[in-house]
Structures are given as C-alpha cells and as structure tokens.
C-alpha cells in the first residue's frame, strides 16, 4: 500500500466513518419526525414500520396549523422572541461594554452575581412572578413574557458580551477617539462591526431560549389566543391519545425558524463561540 492510499485509508477511519456515524445519530430523529409528519394516522402505528410515507399527506400540518391553532402560537412566539432579542442585545452590549472597559469597585463580585442568577430554579419564580404581573395587569400580555425572558437572559448574555468586547483591542477604540469620535461613536463605528459574530451568537441563544420555553409561557398566560408554540405542542400529548402525526407536524413547524436562523448564522456562530472561549 503506497503512502497516498494509506492516507486515504486513515482518513476513512478517522474522519469519514465517524462523521457519517454522528450524522446518522443526529439526523435520524429529525428524519423520523419529518417522516411521521407526512404519514396518515393509521400508517404511523402500523407494523411493520414504513420508512417513507406510503401515501404522503399534509393533513397533519393542516390539523396543527388550523385546528390546534399553531398559526396563532407561531405569531405569538415570533413576537415574544424578536422583542426579547432586541432588548437583550441593547442592554447586554452596553453592560458588557461597561464590564470590559471600565474599572469600578466590586466588578468581580458583580460578575459573580450575574452568574449566580443562573442557578435560581425557574419553577420557584412562577408564583411570585405571577403575582407581580397580575398586579401590573400584564397577565396574558406578551410583555410579561418578554420582560421575564429578557431578565433571565441578560445576566448570561452580558457575561458573554463582556468576553467578546474584551477581545477587541482597546487601541482601536482609542485611535478612533483620537480622530475625534466620542465613546459612543467609537462603539458604534469601530467596536460594533467587530462584534457581529458575538451579537449573532447572543441573538441565537436568546431566541432559541424564548422559542423553546414552556413553563413560564403557560403560567403567565390565561388566554387561549396568547399561548406560545411549546404550549401548543404539549397539547398533542394527552394520556389517552397522542396525536403523533400532528405532534410531528407541529415540531417540524416549530423547527423551521430555528433551522433558518442557524443556517444564516452558522458562520458567525462558529466565530462567536471561538471568541467566547478566548474571552
């Protein structure tokens, strides 16, 4: 065996086969969900299993979208997700900047505190949050979810942003200020463009969290038309009848924005992660 074919052989066992195995492992559930989503109700429970729908149908999507009300839940989830991401971005970029660039007393304890907020179990907060939002008249209002999600995410994303900003050399900013920028202009024109990977990573994290959050979404909403997608998905699982078809179709619908987001953000995300690790 010459060297070239030896290399090829090594590559096969160290790269191609492991990657293929991993792909099968991660993609199979996805394939099965999509497969189930297009099957007719009877075919789903039928044995032997069919690996492709025999007579494909979009009935499950219609059930999920119209009968179960996914169109409404989808809209609600999108509204909550986008608003939360915007708030989190503005606040965590600014506070991340402060943590990275200014020296002040108690900075370390403050950072530690930010991390500690992540240890509080969410289910402990339900009743206090409910009472607070009830007194504010915000129950069943998307604002209650947006505020809560932003509050939950900001400490973590601030720490994340702090890392990204620390990676941008201070000298760039100083050079801009020597050329006549004030601090905010320097942030906008010099730091911001360099932060794009970090911003994308933060947005994706935040969006995925709001998109998947179930407990608070159920607890802080008392109106059918205000629930978000995870609540809608949980309707498909009663003890006596699990509507596998509609559940799968609903999952596929819920997956679409996440997939689009990741496809778009992939390049930045990898860069962003690298930055976070270094920071």
Footprint of another protein on this chain (CB under 8 A)?
A: 41-42, 45-47, 63, 67-68, 79, 83, 86-87, 90-91, 94, 126-127, 130-131, 134, 139, 141-143, 146, 182-184, 214-215, 218-219, 222-225, 231, 234-243, 246
Nearest approach, Cβ of 22 to another protein (angstroms)?
Answer: 27
Residue 114: count of CB within 10 angstroms of its CB: 18
Closer by beta carbon to another protein, 163 or else 232: 232
Whose Cβ is closer to another protein: residue 133's or residue 275's?
Answer: 133
What gap in Å lies between CA 140 and CA 173, rounded to an integer?
A: 44
Least distance from another protein to the Cβ atom of residue 246, Å: 6
- How many helical (H) and strand (E) elements, i.e. helices and strands, does the chain have? 14, 0
Phi, psi dihedrals of residue 136, rounded to the nearest 5°: -85, -5
Q: Nearest approach, Cβ of 195 to another protein (angstroms)?
A: 16
Residue 146 CB, nearest approach to another protein (Å): 6
212: CB partners within 8 A, 6+ apart: 230
Token readout for 140 is 């069943």
The least CB distance from residue 86 to another protein, in Å, is 6
**Residue among 139 and 194 whose Cβ is closer to another protein:** 139
Q: Of 23 and 215, which has the nearer Cβ to another protein?
A: 215
Nearer residue to another protein within complex by CB, 233 or 265:
233
Q: Cα 18–51–14 angle (5° rounding)?
A: 5
Asked if residues 99 and 111 have their Cβ atoms less than 8 Å apart, the reply is yes
Partner residues linked to 237 by β-bridges: 242
Q: How far is CA 31 from the centre of its chain?
A: 21
- What's the rounded Cα separation, in Å, for the pair 277 and 164? 9
Nearer to another protein, 68 or 276 (CB): 68
Write down the least CB distance from residue 87 to another protein, Å.
Answer: 6
């Amino acid at each position: 065996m010459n060297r070239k074919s030896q290399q090829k052989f090594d590559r096969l066992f160290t790269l191609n086969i492991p990657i293929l195995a991993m792909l099968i492992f991660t993609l199979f559930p996805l394939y099965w969900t999509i497969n189930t989503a297009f099957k007719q109700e009877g075919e789903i429970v039928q044995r032997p299993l069919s690996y492709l729908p025999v007579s494909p149908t979009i009935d499950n999507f219609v059930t999920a979208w119209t009968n179960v009300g996914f169109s409404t839940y989808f809209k609600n989830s999108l509204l909550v997700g986008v608003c939360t991401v915007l708030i989190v971005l503005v606040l965590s970029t600014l506070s991340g900047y402060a943590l990275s660039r200014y020296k002040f007393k108690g900075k370390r304890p403050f950072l530690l505190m930010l991390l500690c907020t992540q240890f509080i179990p969410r289910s402990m907060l339900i009743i206090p949050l409910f009472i607070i939002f009830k007194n504010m008249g915000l129950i069943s209002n998307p604002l209650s979810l947006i505020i809560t999600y932003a509050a939950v995410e900001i400490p973590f994303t601030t720490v994340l942003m702090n890392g990204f900003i620390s990676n941008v050399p201070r000298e760039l900013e100083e050079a801009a200020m020597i050329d006549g920028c004030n601090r905010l202009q320097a942030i906008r024109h010099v730091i911001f463009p360099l932060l794009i990977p970090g911003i994308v990573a933060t947005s994706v994290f935040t969006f995925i969290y709001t998109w998947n959050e179930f407990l608070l979404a159920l607890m802080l909403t008392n109106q059918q038309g205000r629930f978000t997608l995870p609540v809608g998905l949980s309707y498909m699982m009663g003890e006596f009848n699990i509507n596998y078809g509609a559940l799968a179709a609903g999952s596929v619908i819920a997956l679409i924005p996440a997939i689009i987001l990741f496809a778009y953000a992939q390049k930045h995300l990898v860069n962003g992660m690298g930055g976070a690790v270094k920071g």
